[in-house]
Structure 1
Amino acid sequence: MLKRIETYYDAVPRSSARAEEFGPLTLFVQEGQGWPYYARPALGHEGEVGVGAVEAVRARQRELGVPEAFEWVAETTPGLRAAVEASGLTAHEHPLMVLEGDGVAVPEPDGVAVRMVGADDPALATAVAAPFAAFGAAPQPGTAERIAERIDAGLTRLAAALEGGRALSAGQHQPVGAVSEVVGVGTVPAARRRGLGLAVTAALVADARAGGVELVFLTASDADVARLYGRLGFRTVATALIAEPEEA
């Protein structure tokens, strides 16, 4: 299962990024505008990763003006944490969760319609913006258009909880063959504690299963959020690590 997830992690950025190889590490670089990617272990690499390789990638990230970020699975590449921390980065642990069965349906919240959002849907712009608003941010210009292109290409599936035609919560799953990851689920602050994020996640799970996805997974931000996803049938199978410079 973790090998399938590793293969997915290597494949999914390649639809919009180029890959630069640094021995045991691969740096994904966004082509054009869009959310910047990260570096991760090269697919199939099973040996140790030295500090020198990490520092070479960080130098390239600084040259490109992108975040000095690394993402990987602790159980798959156990030695990478020591190397990134020796280079001065801080690693953060997050539960990596896999769906068991078809998922658990949740009641639709009162007064809210939870559904998939298409590329030409009038709710697309607010569905794209809602997860950004959840973290006090706004999408870059052109983000909705890029998401629409990905929906048309079958690379992204978008679900939202709508009230009066406006998205209060939204999220995506990104299918690659029979594997998909649920990502970017967020609820605008004023609509929290109504179960909207859980309902959106359930809709994404149902859509993935209906589309023939066999392995659905996600990364929870922390143990409390992992317990919520557990209500939908997800269980923790490993630890996802994200390393970046410590905030000043």
Structure 2
Amino acid sequence: MTSADLDDCPERVLLDRLERYYDAVPRHGARAEDFGPLTLFVREGQGWPFYARPARGWSGAVSAAAVDRVRARQRALGVPESFEWIAETTPLLRAAIEDSGLVVHEHPLMVLDPGAPVPTADELPVGSSVRIIGPDDPALASALAVPHLAFAEPGTGIGSAGVDELAEAVRTRAEDGSVDRAVARIGAGLTAVAAALESGTVLCAGQHQPVGAVSEIVGVGTLPTARRRGLGLAVTAALVADARSRGVETVFLSAGDDDVARIYARLGFRRIATALIAEPTE
């Protein structure tokens, strides 16, 4: 199917495409453990741990006992007891997840309309330079650190973390191996990073992760003190442009909430489903 066909593509076809993507992405750096209706992805080596999700093609009932078995395995491995799935394709999973005692968070799942004339980053009046960050770019460590500071202060309002906190976060990244892992993924074509910079300081950054003709935009975050300037939109536009230059036909993302979804809608993203993330209560 070409990108031109996607304008009239039934949503169930799009959702199946995303399900195949979700199943494929972790396999580049994780092994899949079979738990019947559920699959647990276990990362090989260091890096952010993966999650459990429905087995590819599974849409039937799942018992709380099956969820409990996966959670026991996650505890044994010392990884977060997290699950991710699309509500509309596995509608019966949520009850089992909640019966197991996990809390479910909802996020708008959005796909970019193929014909949307997404502006280039230069066409958006943000007053910052926006570029794709290569593996040798000195801004890479900062581009990896900024989203973590952003997600530590969720929402769209101006926050407290600024350049001092960014400098400390960059020092942490230099010690935990995350920059080396990002360099390897960029070199392998598994990740692309974009950032908005001002006077050499990264103020916003994000990534997309292509697999064939599909890519997900992930981790777009703005340094909390630099919010409300349109930087997230500019970085997202740069990521879309990069994805399209690689031949990607389906670009999608999960918005943090409805307010964030409205921002992405300005670039032509439309909501097609609900992404669910489950985790224990704090």
Q: Does the pair score TM above 0.5?
A: yes
Once structures 1 and 2 are overlaid, which stretch shifts more, 108-117 or 82-91? 108-117
Aligned partners of 2:126, 2:109: CA distance in 1, in Å? 31
Q: How does 1:23-102 map to 2 (within 5 A)?
A: 23-100=36-113, 101-102=115-116
Deviations 1:47-72 (A, max 9, x none): 21111110100000111111111000
Deviations 1:1-54 (A, max 9, x none): 100000000000111111111001000111111111110000012321111110
Residues 120-129 or 230-239, more deviating: 120-129
Matched positions, count:
247
String of CA shifts for 1:107-126, please: whole Å, max 9, x gaps.
Answer: 34454110100001111111
Residue number in structure 1 paired with 2:185: 150
Q: Could you tell me which amino acid in structure 2 is paired with residue 104 of structure 1?
A: V
SS at match of 1:63: helix
Match of 1:5 in 2: 18
2:151 corresponds in structure 1 to 135
Amino acid paired to 1:89: L
5+ residue gaps, structure 1, are none
Return the structure number with greater helix share. 2
Q: What does the per-residue CA deviation read over 1:149-174, in whole Å, with 9 as the maximum and x for residues that have no partner? A: 10000000100001122211000000
Q: Distance in 2 between matches of 1:221 and 1:61?
A: 25
Determine the structure 2 residue equivalent to 1:243: 278
Which of 183, 193, 213 is equivalent to 2:218?
183
Displacement of 1:193: 0.8
Give per-residue Cα distances to partners, 1:88-134, cap 9 Å, x unaligned: 11111110000002442163445411010000111111111111121
In 1, Cα distance between equivalents of 2:233 and 2:253: 13
Structure 1: which amino acid aligns with 2:69? A
Structure 2: runs of 5+ lacking an equivalent: 1-13, 153-164
Amino acid at match of 2:212: G
SS at match of 2:244: helix
Q: Distance in 2 between matches of 1:110 and 1:201?
A: 13
TM-score scaled by length of structure 2: 0.85
1:167 partner SS:
strand
Tell me the residue number matched to 2:233. 198
| C-alpha distance in 1 between matches for 2:148 and 2:136 | 20
- TM score, norm. by length of structure 1: 0.96
- Say what the alpha-carbon RMSD is for the aligned residues: 1.4
Contact kept in structure 1, 2:103 and 2:279, CA below 8 Å: yes
Percent identity of equivalent pairs: 69
CA distance in 2, matches of 1:186, 1:35: 17
Q: 1:116 aligns with which of 116, 121, 132?
A: 132
- The answer to whether the 8 Å contact 2:40/2:52 transfers is yes
